[in-house]
Structure 1
Amino acid sequence: MTGISLILPEDLSNSLADLAKTNGQSASYLAMDVLRDYIAHERALTAQIELAVKEADEGKFATDDQVAAMRARRWSNSAG
């Protein structure tokens, strides 16, 4: 494993330490876990964006009807 050193604002450092203690973990483990999740999220988001750009470059766009149907589904799900 490789080490890393971070200088954190005191409030963030305290919050990290408090949460780690509450969860029975070390602050280092919790920080590693959070970074792992963040990196996975960013990689997935980047892949989705790259796919969308590729599809747009290929001229693949949603029709007006598809967009309207998606909006209707979202709004009906949000309302309930």
Structure 2
Amino acid sequence: TSEITGAEHICKARAINEEVGDRWYAMWKAYQDDVIFAHQTDDLSDSQPTKGNIEGGLTTIEEKALGNLEKI
């Protein structure tokens, strides 16, 4: 999901084996292509990181993704 964008390579590497990692990555990539990119706009006013994330100290979506990985 979008919560791990920027850290997907770490999720893939954490898989129990290479086959599972490859299957997971294929699913994630399909989601990005078919859902996220298909509905992408040029309006970035509500994009990540949000104002609240920035106020909390995050500077990039990758930082947010790494924090989300710590939760799982």
Give the TM interval when normalised to the shorter protein: 0.3 to 0.5
Richer in helix (by share): 1
User: Whose RCO is larger (CA < 8 A, sep 6+)?
Assistant: 2
Query: What TM-score do you get using the length of structure 2 for normalisation?
Result: 0.40
